[in-house]
Amino acid sequence: MKKISLTGIKPTGTLHIGNYFGAIKPALELAKEYDARYFIADYHALNTVKDPEELRANIREVAAGWLAAGLDPEQVIFYRQSSIPETFELTTQLMAFTAKGLMNRAHAYKTAVQENIEKNGDPDAGINMGLFTYPVLMAADIILFDSDVVPVGKDQVQHVEMAQDIAQAVNANYKGQVLKVPQAAVVESVAVVPGLDGRKMSKSYNNTIPLFAPEKTLRKLIMRMVTNSQTVEEPKEPGTSQIYLLYKLFANEGEQSALAARYRAGGMGWGEAKEELFRVVNRELSPMRERFQSLLAEPAGLDRILGRGAEKARPIAAATVRRFRKAAGID
Ligand code: TRP
């Protein structure tokens, strides 16, 4: 039997090229080898996104985005967290085995408290219980589907470790393998994806290139990328150029060495390098952008796909909750 991989996608903003190389592509690669279960963590997003129109749009955009990028809903069980009520029952079950002190140590919560203290305010200002108990909901997401591995970025490893702790506490208490203990699979990004300003591409730096930007916007953003003041004539070093580093992610090997040679020869200005970059980025993204637009144009179709995913997911989830109930004496 194939091992099970599971990951959650928080619908909190527009997908960008950094997400594509850092999360989407590696997860789709893993889905070839594993029995994959990928879901939209809409209740996790609720902690921060309080505008209903915004949340609804975010959910549709990530669903359409992952499908457009190649997620095959026949191969991957693809669903919304909110469609699986067992998630919330397991969350309550796990609460009884989660030390409050464990939650106090969660990085996201600690950072929020620290920021409040630095502002001389109430340490708990703006912190809701959803944020405080975030790791329990995430542990339920993971444990519910008997996950073996959880592909996540480095920032989420602590959460997976907490899910391990919680599952182990349950198993130790009931002296048996009631819940499967998951492992984190850290997604080592293929490369750092450079952002518009030369720093790593990240929503928090506001330097992203949206994955599905219209062609004109894409071109404008690329033309706006920060470069140094070298003249057209000067030979340039590809290895330190953000434009070249981004180009490498989209171009084949022949194209990469050809552009590197033009850099080193001199006579090519940054404007021209950016044109080359735009050409390869648009080549890869334009078919995806078209699929994305047509998926978004028909929300009922998206709902159908996610609904079928939920139908496949629920019996698995129900079995886990039943196992817990039986072990706990609530049967
Ligand atoms: N916390 C994850 C993030 O912010 C999203 C998430 C929710 C998740 N539940 C999960 C990831 C379960 C992996 C497994 O990106």
How large a percentage of the chain has pLDDT more than 70? 99
Mutate to test the pocket of ligand 1, among 34, 39, 156, 160 (most ligand atoms within 8 A of CB): 156
Q: Report, as an integer, the average pLDDT of 140-169.
A: 96
Cα-to-centroid distance, 27 and ligand 1 (Å): 13
Within the chain, where are the H helices?
Answer: 17-19, 25-30, 42-45, 52-68, 86-95, 100-104, 107-118, 129-132, 134-144, 157-174, 215-223, 242-250, 253-265, 270-296, 299-328
Q: Report, as an integer, the average pLDDT of 298-320.
A: 98
Write out the DSSP string of 282-306: HHHHHHHHHHHHHHHT-HHHHHHHH
Q: Report, as an integer, the average pLDDT of 208-218.
A: 97
Nearest CA to ligand 1 atom 10: 8
Task: Identify the sign of the CA torsion 302, 83, 187, 218.
Answer: positive
Q: Which positions are catalytic? A: 119, 200, 203
Q: Report, as an integer, the average pLDDT of 294-309.
A: 98
pLDDT value at residue 189: 64
Cα-to-centroid distance, 274 and ligand 1 (Å): 35
Structure tokens at 39: 């879901």
pLDDT value at residue 190: 62
Q: Report, as an integer, the average pLDDT of 220-224.
A: 97
Q: How many CB atoms lie within 10 A of CB 190?
A: 12
151 CA closest ligand 1 atom index: 13
Pocket, ligand 1, Cβ cutoff 6 A: 6-8, 10, 41, 44, 138, 141-142, 150, 152, 156, 159
Tell me the Cα Rg of the chain.
22
pLDDT value at residue 305: 98
Q: Report, as an integer, the average pLDDT of 166-193.
A: 91
Block residue for tokens 């960008």:
16
Distances (CA, A) of 245 to 179, 198, 229, 292: 44, 10, 18, 26
Read off the pLDDT of residues 27-79 as tens digits, 9 standing for 90 and up: 999 999 999 999 999 999 999 999 999 999 999 999 999 999 999 999 999 99
pLDDT value at residue 153: 86
Closest CA to 133 of 176, 99, 164, 157: 99
